[in-house]
Amino acid sequence: MARIDPQIEHTWKSILNEEFNAQYFQELKEFLVAEKLRHTVYPPGSLIFNAFQLTPFDQVRVVILGQDPYHGKGQAHGLCFSVPGKVVPPPSLVNIFREIHSDLGNPLPKHGNLEKWARQGVLLLNATLTVRANQAGSHQKKGWELFTDSVIRKLSDKRVGLVFLLWGKYAQDKEQLIDTKKHYVLKAAHPSPFSAYNGFFGCRHFSKTNEILRRHGLNEIDWSL
């Protein structure tokens, strides 16, 4: 089996080395190579591991779990819920900003690039890291979930006092991977327009996260953009 050498931040590369050498990851790479020959795949290859590049393993303080990259042109850049600066923020992200405004009084941002959060220790992790253009969920069950479940387990096992924000049933099903005796789990409805009024609005996860960080003597997250 050919060795896979992904371009990923060095602390994560060390932590996840076993995954990169697993049979499923070899098969995932082969799937992606074949997929790119026939279809457009998002995000670009250089940004697939962007969440890891911006938030090294030992700097993670908060984890936000998403499901799938955005599948529209120019939207996905490797951070869940985030879009590059000139791209119109999608509805779920707009609702996240509305909740931050309600919770903390921060002004509504004029862009949807969440890199500022990532650089402060917020791991913006999608369960699936790639998608075929204009086909939501098209790269699910190809191996990415095995990889990102391992990421969550490694964080749970090797770190203490992290805050996991689980929005919607898909993310909440990942709670089984987290040692809740060592970490904090905040759950709410998904920020999608279809569910935000069922418990996302009013969840106050952003102030609650900062309260937890303060109790641990850590700097708060500046949720403004």
Ramachandran class of 39: left when φ > 0, alpha when ψ lies in -120 to 50, beta otherwise: beta
Catalytic residues: 68
User: How do strand 122-126 and strand 184-188 relate by DSSP bridges?
Assistant: unpaired
Decide if 9 contacts 48 (C-beta within 8 A).
Answer: no
User: What single-letter DSSP state applies at residue 135?
Assistant: B
Q: Which amino acid is at 69?
A: P
Cβ neighbours around 167 below 10 Å, total: 28
Q: Distance between CA atoms of 22 and 166, rounded to whole angstroms?
A: 28
User: What single-letter DSSP state applies at residue 199?
Assistant: T
- The number of residues making up the chain comes to 225
Q: Count H helices, E strands: the chain?
A: 9, 6
